[in-house]
Structure formats: C-alpha cells, structure tokens
Amino acid sequence: MSADAGRAAGEAADGVAGGAAVGPAGGLAVGDVVAERTVHLTREDLVRYAGASGDFNPIHYRDDVAASVGLPGVLAHGMLTMGVAVQPVVDWAGGPGRILDYGVRFTRPVVVDAHAGVDLVVTARVGALDDAVARVDLTVTAGGESVLGRAQVRVSLA
C-alpha cells in the first residue's frame, strides 16, 4: 500500500473501528508530529477520575488537605495526566490494541485551580521507528511547564 493510499484509508476509517490502515501506515519519519491536543481539566474532572479509578486521595479534591501537606494546590492525579496524554496516540494509531508499551515519569505536579482549571497541552512526535514499531514521544505541559518526563509510547505498526 502506498503512503497516500494509507492516509486515505486512515481518513475513511476515522471514527469507525480500529481499522488496520489508520495513522501509522506509510510515510512516517522520525520527528513527525503525529498528534496534538489541548485538554482542559477542572476539579470536576478530578472527582470523576477519582470515582472511575478508585483513587480517593484527598489531595486531588480538597484544598485544605493539599495545603496541609505543603502542596501548591489541589493536584491532578498523575495517572489522570498519564491517561489523558496517551489518547491522541491511541486515536492516531487506530485503537488501543496497537499500544505495546507506555511509560512516563511524573516530573512536576499539575495544579488544578478551583475556578480556572488547567490546560494540558499534548504533542506526540515520532522518536524512533522500525518496520514494526514506532516509538512516539509525548511532550505534556501545563501552564507552559513540562509535567511528564520520558513519556514514551511504543505503537505497533504491524
């Protein structure tokens, strides 16, 4: 399949099931930005994640508790940031089944203001490539500062 055919099939399959010909097919190079997304998080999102994940640590919804342990404010769960950040790659890759491996370092807390919330800005770039696997490197910032380190997703191209 040519690169153009791959792209066309990918567009056609977009929003349908995890079709084989989405994103990664053809024409990929190291350094390519494959996805970008800005996600706005509010306190409501933290409560929703607490319920969905079972992580009810009060530093993620109570200002008084966060202050009492010396934090700059209520923080997003690290696993919420990690979970949100991979989604543009899942969509690009053509579904969750293509994710082979995903790892991050939590380098800076994400403070979620009670009124303003916070924007997470995700950029996904091809960091390494062979015939079968692309390593996609994520840059994730909040308030202009990087919050994840060595955030890498290995995506099956097969």
Partner 1 sequence: MPVNPQLQGRVFPPTEPYLVGREKIREFSRAVRATHPTHLDLDAARAAGYADLVAPPTFAVVVQERSLDRLLTDPDAGIDLAHVVHGEQRFAFSRPIVAGDELVGTLTVTSVKTLGATSMVTAESVVADVAGGHVVTAVSTLVVRGEDA
By the criterion CB under 8 A, which residues form the site for partner 1?
15-19, 39, 45, 48-49, 51-55, 69, 78-80, 82-84, 86-87, 90-91, 95-97, 99-106
Task: State how far the Cα of 102 lies from the Cα of 25, in Å rounded to an integer.
Answer: 20
Nearer to partner 1 among residue 103 and residue 143 (C-beta): 103
Helix axes 43-53, 78-85, angle to 10 degrees: 90
Shortest Å, Cβ 61 to partner 1: 14
Shortest Å, Cβ 100 to partner 1: 6
Shortest Å, Cβ 121 to partner 1: 14
Nearer to partner 1 among residue 15 and residue 144 (C-beta): 15
Nearer to partner 1 among residue 87 and residue 123 (C-beta): 87
Which residue, among 104, 129, 103, 122, has the nearest Cα to 31 in the 3D structure? 129
What is the secondary structure of 49-64 as a DSSP string?
Answer: HHHHHT---GGGT-HH
Shortest Å, Cβ 19 to partner 1: 8
Nearer to partner 1 among residue 4 and residue 119 (C-beta): 119
Which residue, among 56, 39, 38, has the nearest Cα to 48 in the 3D structure? 56
Task: State how far the Cα of 123 lies from the Cα of 112, in Å rounded to an integer.
Answer: 20
- Give the residue carrying structure tokens 């350094």: 31
